[in-house]
Homo-oligomer: A and B are copies of this chain.
Amino acid sequence: MDSLKFLLVILDGVGDRPIPDYGGKTPLEAAFTPHLDALARDGSCGLVDVVEPGMPVGSDIAHLLLFGYDYNRDYPGRGPLEALGIGLAMGQDDIAFRGNFANIDQNMIIIDRRAGRNIPEAKEYIKVINDAIKSLDLGVDVTFKHSTEQRVACLIHGPSLSPRVSSTNPNKNFVPVEECRPLDGSGEARATASIINAITRKIYEVLKDHPLNKSRKERGVPQVNCILFHGPGVMKKIVSLHLKHGIKVAGVTGNGVIRGLCRYLGIDVIPCPGATGTINTNLDAKMDAVEEGLKDHDLVFLHIKATDSSGHDKKPEQKKLFLEDIDRIVGGRILRDIDHSCTTVVITGDHSTPCVVGDHSGDPVPFLMHGPAVIADDVEQFGERACASGYFARFSSRPLMNIILNKLDKLKKFGA
């Protein structure tokens, strides 16, 4: 037998609520998932509350908790994770923001807070913006970089900065861009807020009549003339998973923030160009990367994003069909290609994103564990309802890393 291995599959936002069109079944329950069901049948199941029952949570924080870290002590903010995820090197005192390309009118009213999401000219816009910011006399270095779709990261390097400032993104259309405000009385917070406000004005000024936007206008797609800022943060000193537990961990993801989180936790990100974080992601390429990772890592983490996006977009049928793709490719290859004599597999989610809500909810997520040291229960289907009667019953995700380390026989016993 080879050494013990673990595969942790997180289906982002997989949990859902009853869909009337499916006779009250959730998208996962309505989906045809013979492979996932076979894994459930031979494994043990449960329902997981990632924070606590009823509490909705963001994907970044959910993953931080799933890997056994403490939110208050260890969460650096969305900005630093996005920056790390797209390869921006952050120094000790740098502040990172996450940003969204947006379309605003001359009164700073938001027309489309994502500028249509599809922005092929993103890199050109970034260049224009980076050049324009240099002409401002801000006393700090500012770098923008594109992530995916409308998403960008912004890194500010300089003395006397603070992440204690407010977001400029009201998260809805037809309201004004919010002013960035200091969240405490420090000079650092005031300085940082006024830098963000100056940048916001400069971006509108340089883009409002830019040829890139003329071209988009002609094509009838929203112009890009604003960046909305949120998620400011600085890096925190944390202990990597490797140092903490003596295990080598690899990650496969198409999502910038989750890739950033991997780098933050010392998880080796396995390159996978086909991984896009959308429903068109190349799941076969991701499973290739997983199998590559399992060769020389104890734990491989596979993250799949578009279950969540389908929930946000209120598209149950898209979520159901994507879950059937996941079943066929990921479930099928786990059943066929993974060495079950030494590999334990967990498939679960980071939170629920019910299609009827269009956002994260506090409903628990289904959980299945399959492997050589797993006691099979009577659950015969991977779904919200069926998993509730499994061996794990309903449990908090807090001890998940210990559950993983236990199956890897990597925990020292507490006491003698």
Chain A residues at the B interface, C-beta cutoff of 8 Å: 17-18, 24, 26, 44, 46-47, 49, 51-62, 71, 75, 78, 230-231, 354, 356-357, 359-363, 372-378, 384-385, 388-395, 398-406, 409, 411-416
Contact = CB atoms under 8 A, between A and B. Distances in A.
B58 A414 contact: yes
A205 B410 CA distance: 39
B390 A388 contact: yes
Contacts of A361: 406, 409
Contacts of A392: 388, 394
A353 to B, nearest CB: 10
B375 A61 contact: no
A416 to B, nearest CB: 4
Nearest to A364: B391
A223 B12 CA distance: 61
Contacts of A51: 414
A119 to B, nearest CB: 20
B388 A54 contact: no
Given A61-B415, A231-B416, A405-B54, A377 B399 contact: no
18 contacts: A17-B375, A18-B374, A44-B388, A54-B399, A54-B402, A54-B403, A54-B404, A56-B412, A56-B414, A57-B415, A60-B416, A61-B414, A361-B409, A362-B403, A362-B406, A388-B392, A392-B394, A393-B393
A71 B75 CA distance: 29
A60 B389 CA distance: 32
Nearest to A52: B399
A22 to B, nearest CB: 12
Contact of A415 (B18, B62, B356): B62
A60 B413 CA distance: 12
